[in-house]
Chain A
């Protein structure tokens, strides 16, 4: 037997000690690891676990190292009396020993084998192990039931896997992405948002990519208005598409699966494409007067739009002539913006060549710019105000100062008498070349014209339209009792060389329409004296003109245009007189009180007038439901939302941010204990509250001292 037994014992002791340390550190290590994984982000948790494991290994190494050979000897000596406390002699160098020691060494060596095998190992640290295990179990259970952290760890896949075995009571949004593709015309680049709330141009295509855990059997998005967007499976997750036409709210609906962790309304804001904004730089006023020697009219516009400016059309209207002879011509020019630059902002310059337009004295030139943007399918269009360039004529200066009450007599109605004279003269000149029938027929046609003209003037005097009687016998059956047909007939019977748009009026459309209505719904039974449109003098002249027309018509219908001419000329004369007093004075209508009953006046008889009670009740606000809900909410209660919801449904469209209110209400209703949700709801309700009538404060009671003071003041006042 040698020292080998001793070394074996040493090794056994060391292993045993290492195992003991491992036995009590391992539960602690597991518990600490569970805590770290539960409450720390994974990399840190793993680092922590590694550090703890190292510490544990270090403890084992230290405990192993702490078992020295002397310890083995001591243990042996303690355990085996037959070694006679001399086990250390085995370790020593036999050569260095005294003979007695050598002898003893031999004896010990002989007994060592049996002693070593029978040496008891150190006791298992039961108390330490039990304590550590109990602590580990407690900590482990604690980490499992601890409620926090779970909600915040939304994108942590690793954690989700660890929690896998636990039955999911809520569905988590593992990842969310919305790809946004704005309409092509906006030229906005496609982008992705990782949130569920987006704000983007209207008409954008939104594509959701949502990964849910646990994955439900079906999923869809439910819009605020009830529309549903089905989500289709896409790999691990779900995807769906929606074209955003207007702002809305939506919720992710997972069907039968456990509810979402954060089941709330998400908001989609559509940014509307606004029509272009036109800024007119020149001219700087709406009405400019032509300056001397001005060959062109410079115009300058600046247009801006949120995405791009489209076509710019300049409408140029030239109103020429005055009085009876106003001709209007309109043309449209397409302006080209300054080349290059920002498509969202364009400048336009254009100089209108007045000479080329035929602009003359007394004319008005009116321009207006219309700009559309690039929006599809329908472009937004904006129009500028109208800008007028006027070449002042001498006549127009007269009306200064009395514009408000004076109106020019409608010149269009007074136009055609001259034409009838021209037609008549032409007919007389043609007479030799025409057949008698033809001549009479054309003369009669002029007569019909004359009749229509007379009837028009007659209307000004309040005459019945039909006062002229039926058309002559030669008139065809087209000329029935109905004026619109007559008007058509007149139109159709225009003499050669006349077209409906030859510069003078044959059938003023507005007039015809008015008479149609009269014809359809009844007759006008005005009497001439009540026609307040004209002053008595004008009316007298007009009446004379009508009489002349009547005679002219008579002659024309009889086929005697030559006889009709003097009447026609006189009628024109009168009409010119009317034209020269080209003003109609409209009477101002004032307050008309009922007549004072003179019989009862100053008699002291008050009839049945009695004192009365006129009770006034406080106004009831239509927002009462809102106010009640707000007040209850503000005072910390949990009011019923029924009344408020009814109110909201009724008013939602009129609110500035109706969707915001709906979303805030929904968030609060889902979790009534959530203080930020309540605050948010109160925030959005505040602007909606109606302003109540200002309340009155009563002054505080001043107290007895003040009463005595005021009473003594009064006694001084009244000695």
Chain B
């Protein structure tokens, strides 16, 4: 039984008893007095439990850190305003420790107007679906957007792209740790840039990105660091109908990159050059990650072998079919069954790859097979500089099958650009090969000092190790399994330690990258605001004030008492007189 009901019942009981007693007195006007008992009981009940009434829709202006003087001057004093910590309090604003406190103080608030750089992470959850409008302060000049991979494989070229705010024209330079400019890109009209650099051995590679104004003044400089791992040891079967230069360079790259290669290159009927084990059977294919074959070796495969390849592909094996010459009709039909229609076409053979920002000029002319490959559900695997595809792939069960009709990619190596050749094939192998790597823990969003950082893909026992080697347990999030959070207090590389495995993640310092921190806050606040378009909350209500009911009760009670007293006096007077 709850309190209102208990109180109601008690009051009702008292009223009933009082009514009964009043009835028994058999005095004049007792009907009125009995009625008064119930009125009093009802009023008393309302004093204890005043009725809920809907609240008027109110707007709250929240001043957030990073507010500018102009924004402060434009505040409307008639609207309720609170300022969060980190804001110099304005005269018209009330300082609150956080937004939740402000919302508890003013329950009527259903709309929030954010002024300043945006809500800090702490206040975002409580503001969800309430923020309706924002007036963001202008971002500090600098790099406001930065996209860079967190992890790379040794020897690959990585690309950093992003946007610089606050300068209309200028350049962005990427410097390596020795201070040499590796890549330089001019800002486009939207302030976007695109720089790339090659990383070397495994470890943490340090770079510095620098935004320069048109007069070469440094606008902002911040470190960009990337974790480099050694390449995964993929197991690849390479079978070819003949030897050619492409295979020579492909094998050289693959072996150097740590790929376990099984090679069978036919040179005549029944005679082949071998390296490692390259058997086409269920067992061997099941152990491999990728099969690279050309149309001649495909034609030479037996039906059992082809079935084994198909079945293995369904189970996750990647298959790369190289087109190196005219395709026999039987092979064409079989490849059609795999989803690719490869027809000879009248197209030019010369082709160039798209250019990268850094590295030598890509003037190397490569050759492609003059074929047209049609596949309904295929995605491009490699695109030429003119936008035409040079290879494409499609999913086949759990595996992927690709067709590759670029020839003579080895010319890149001959032209001194072995790195590009490696990137080309590494990308192709990554896309097609069996997906079998464990997924390492990763950050949900960029991590900042003094803000909750969420990592996903971690187990229950994961620990976080700060740059000064202090280990703390991660707090697991019961709602999203596999995700956990910690509160970084130091910038730099943290390690997520899970048993024997380590993953490096980086925590940023907002003082080192003010523009980026500002942009991240703005972005997160916008995301919070997106929730405001959801159906509005149930109409907010609040208890009506108690004092009118109490006053009414007092009035009624006083009236009844006064009338009682008079009645008693009237009754007594005749008796005494």
**A residues adjacent to B (C-beta < 8 A):** 606, 609-619, 627, 630-631, 634-635, 682-684, 686-687, 689-702, 706-707, 710-711, 713-714
Q: Is the CB of A631 within 8 A of B202?
A: yes
Does chain A have a CB within 8 A of B179? Answer: yes
Closest Cβ of chain A to B426, distance in Å, is: 4
Q: Is the CB of A611 within 8 A of B177?
A: no
Q: Is the CB of A697 within 8 A of B419?
A: no
Per-residue interface assignment for chain B, residues 217 to 255, with 1 indicating a CB less than 8 Å from any chain A CB and 0 otherwise? 000000000000111101000000000000000011101
Say yes or no: A695-B258 contact (C-beta < 8 A), given A611-B272, A682-B177: yes
Say yes or no: A694-B156 contact (C-beta < 8 A), given A617-B255, A682-B177, A683-B179: yes
Given contacts A696-B433, A700-B438, 4 further A-B contacts (CB under 8 A): A631-B202, A691-B198, A694-B422, A699-B433
When chains A and B are docked, how far (Å) is the Cα of A614 from the Cα of B255? Answer: 13
When chains A and B are docked, how far (Å) is the Cα of A149 from the Cα of B263? Answer: 66
Closest Cβ of chain B to A704, distance in Å, is: 11
Q: Is the CB of B275 within 8 A of A615?
A: yes
Q: Is the CB of A707 within 8 A of B398?
A: yes
Residue numbers in B under 8 Å from A701 (CB-CB): 435-439
13 A/B residue pairs, CB under 8 Å, sorted by A: A610-B271, A612-B273, A613-B275, A618-B255, A618-B256, A630-B201, A631-B203, A693-B231, A693-B257, A693-B258, A694-B419, A695-B230, A700-B437
Q: Is the CB of B426 within 8 A of A694?
A: yes
Q: Is the CB of A698 within 8 A of B201?
A: no
Say yes or no: A714-B314 contact (C-beta < 8 A), given A610-B271, A697-B437: yes
Closest B residue, CB atoms, query A715: B397
9 A-B pairs closest in CB distance: A695-B231, A694-B422, A695-B153, A693-B256, A700-B439, A699-B435, A698-B437, A692-B155, A693-B257
When chains A and B are docked, how far (Å) is the Cα of A695 from the Cα of B430? Answer: 10
**Residue from the list A616, A691, A702, A714 in contact with B200, Cβ < 8 A:** A691
**Residue from the list A687, A698, A706 in contact with B178, Cβ < 8 A:** A687
Residue numbers in A under 8 Å from B267 (CB-CB): 609
Does chain A have a CB within 8 A of B196? Answer: no
Say yes or no: A691-B155 contact (C-beta < 8 A), given A613-B275, A699-B435, A714-B314: yes
Q: Is the CB of A699 within 8 A of B230?
A: no
Say yes or no: A698-B234 contact (C-beta < 8 A), given A616-B252, A631-B202, A693-B256: yes
Does chain A have a CB within 8 A of B368? Answer: no
Q: Is the CB of B433 within 8 A of A711?
A: no
How many residues of chain B have a CB within 8 Å of chain A?
62
Q: Is the CB of B251 within 8 A of A693?
A: no
Residue numbers in A under 8 Å from B234 (CB-CB): 696, 698
Does chain A have a CB within 8 A of B507? Answer: no
- Which of A614, A698, A713 gathers the greatest number of chain B CB atoms within 10 Å? A698
When chains A and B are docked, how far (Å) is the Cα of A687 from the Cα of B177? Answer: 9
Closest Cβ of chain B to A709, distance in Å, is: 9
Closest A residue, CB atoms, query B176: A686
When chains A and B are docked, how far (Å) is the Cα of A606 from the Cα of B270? Answer: 11
Residue numbers in B under 8 Å from A618 (CB-CB): 255-256, 258
Residue numbers in A under 8 Å from B257 (CB-CB): 692-696
Closest Cβ of chain A to B245, distance in Å, is: 15
Does chain A have a CB within 8 A of B308? Answer: no
Q: Is the CB of B176 within 8 A of A687?
A: yes
Does chain A have a CB within 8 A of B274? Answer: yes
Closest B residue, CB atoms, query A619: B256
- Which of A606, A619, A691, A706 gathers the greatest number of chain B CB atoms within 10 Å? A691
When chains A and B are docked, how far (Å) is the Cα of A613 from the Cα of B268? Answer: 15
Closest A residue, CB atoms, query B424: A694
**Residue from the list B203, B314, B423, B437 in contact with A694, Cβ < 8 A:** B423
A interface, over-half SS: loop
Q: Is the CB of A697 within 8 A of B252?
A: no
Q: Is the CB of B437 within 8 A of A699?
A: yes
Q: Is the CB of A711 within 8 A of B397?
A: yes
Q: Is the CB of A692 within 8 A of B437?
A: no
Say yes or no: A606-B268 contact (C-beta < 8 A), given A687-B178, A696-B234: yes
Say yes or no: A612-B274 contact (C-beta < 8 A), given A693-B253, A693-B257, A696-B257: yes
Q: Is the CB of A627 within 8 A of B437?
A: no
Closest Cβ of chain A to B563, distance in Å, is: 78
Per-residue interface assignment for chain B, residues 138 to 163, with 1 indicating a CB less than 8 Å from any chain A CB and 0 otherwise? 00000000000000011111000000
Q: Is the CB of A686 within 8 A of B430?
A: no
Residue numbers in A under 8 Å from B157 (CB-CB): 694
Closest Cβ of chain B to A670, distance in Å, is: 21
Closest Cβ of chain A to B480, distance in Å, is: 15
When chains A and B are docked, how far (Å) is the Cα of A706 from the Cα of B426? Answer: 24
When chains A and B are docked, how far (Å) is the Cα of A617 from the Cα of B256? Answer: 8
Q: Is the CB of B275 within 8 A of A635?
A: no
When chains A and B are docked, how far (Å) is the Cα of A683 from the Cα of B274? Answer: 43
Which residues of chain B in 277-336 are interfacial with respect to chain A, using CB atoms and an 8 Å cutoff? 289, 314
Say yes or no: A698-B271 contact (C-beta < 8 A), given A683-B179, A689-B201, A711-B398: no
Does chain A have a CB within 8 A of B429? Answer: yes
**B residues adjacent to A (C-beta < 8 A):** 153-157, 176-180, 198, 200-204, 229-232, 234, 251-253, 255-259, 261, 263, 267-268, 270-276, 289, 314, 395, 397-398, 418-419, 422-423, 425-426, 429-431, 433-440
Residue numbers in B under 8 Å from A713 (CB-CB): 395, 397
**Residue from the list B273, B276, B429 in contact with A611, Cβ < 8 A:** B273
**Residue from the list B200, B251, B270 in contact with A692, Cβ < 8 A:** B200
Residue numbers in B under 8 Å from A609 (CB-CB): 267-268, 271
Residue numbers in A under 8 Å from B154 (CB-CB): 692, 694-695
Residue numbers in A under 8 Å from B314 (CB-CB): 714
Closest Cβ of chain B to A550, distance in Å, is: 56
Closest Cβ of chain A to B401, distance in Å, is: 13
Residue numbers in A under 8 Å from B431 (CB-CB): 699
Q: Is the CB of B268 within 8 A of A616?
A: no
Residue numbers in B under 8 Å from A619 (CB-CB): 252, 255-256
Q: Is the CB of B437 within 8 A of A695?
A: no
Closest Cβ of chain B to A713, distance in Å, is: 7
Residue numbers in B under 8 Å from A616 (CB-CB): 251-252, 255, 261, 263, 275
Residue numbers in A under 8 Å from B289 (CB-CB): 698
Q: Is the CB of A613 within 8 A of B232?
A: no
Closest B residue, CB atoms, query A714: B397
Closest B residue, CB atoms, query A700: B439
Residue numbers in A under 8 Å from B177 (CB-CB): 682-683, 686
When chains A and B are docked, how far (Å) is the Cα of A714 from the Cα of B433? Answer: 19
Residue numbers in B under 8 Å from A630 (CB-CB): 201
Closest B residue, CB atoms, query A604: B269
Q: Is the CB of A613 within 8 A of B274?
A: yes
When chains A and B are docked, how far (Å) is the Cα of A616 from the Cα of B238? Answer: 13
When chains A and B are docked, how far (Å) is the Cα of A713 from the Cα of B395? Answer: 10
Residue numbers in B under 8 Å from A691 (CB-CB): 155, 198, 200, 418-419
When chains A and B are docked, how far (Å) is the Cα of A682 from the Cα of B397? Answer: 47
Closest Cβ of chain A to B457, distance in Å, is: 9
Q: Is the CB of B155 within 8 A of A699?
A: no
Residue numbers in A under 8 Å from B229 (CB-CB): 695
Closest A residue, CB atoms, query B273: A614
Residue numbers in A under 8 Å from B256 (CB-CB): 618-619, 692-693
**Residue from the list B200, B268, B271, B276 in contact with A690, Cβ < 8 A:** B200
When chains A and B are docked, how far (Å) is the Cα of A645 from the Cα of B101? Answer: 64
Closest B residue, CB atoms, query A707: B398
When chains A and B are docked, how far (Å) is the Cα of A695 from the Cα of B156? Answer: 7
Residue numbers in B under 8 Å from A613 (CB-CB): 273-275
Q: Is the CB of B275 within 8 A of A692?
A: no
Q: Is the CB of A694 within 8 A of B153?
A: yes
Closest Cβ of chain A to B365, distance in Å, is: 22
When chains A and B are docked, how far (Å) is the Cα of A158 from the Cα of B423? Answer: 64
Closest Cβ of chain A to B411, distance in Å, is: 17
Closest Cβ of chain B to A290, distance in Å, is: 38
Closest Cβ of chain B to A680, distance in Å, is: 10
Closest A residue, CB atoms, query B270: A611
When chains A and B are docked, how far (Å) is the Cα of A470 from the Cα of B438? Answer: 92
When chains A and B are docked, how far (Å) is the Cα of A63 from the Cα of B183? Answer: 76
Closest Cβ of chain A to B70, distance in Å, is: 43
Q: Is the CB of B398 within 8 A of A611?
A: no
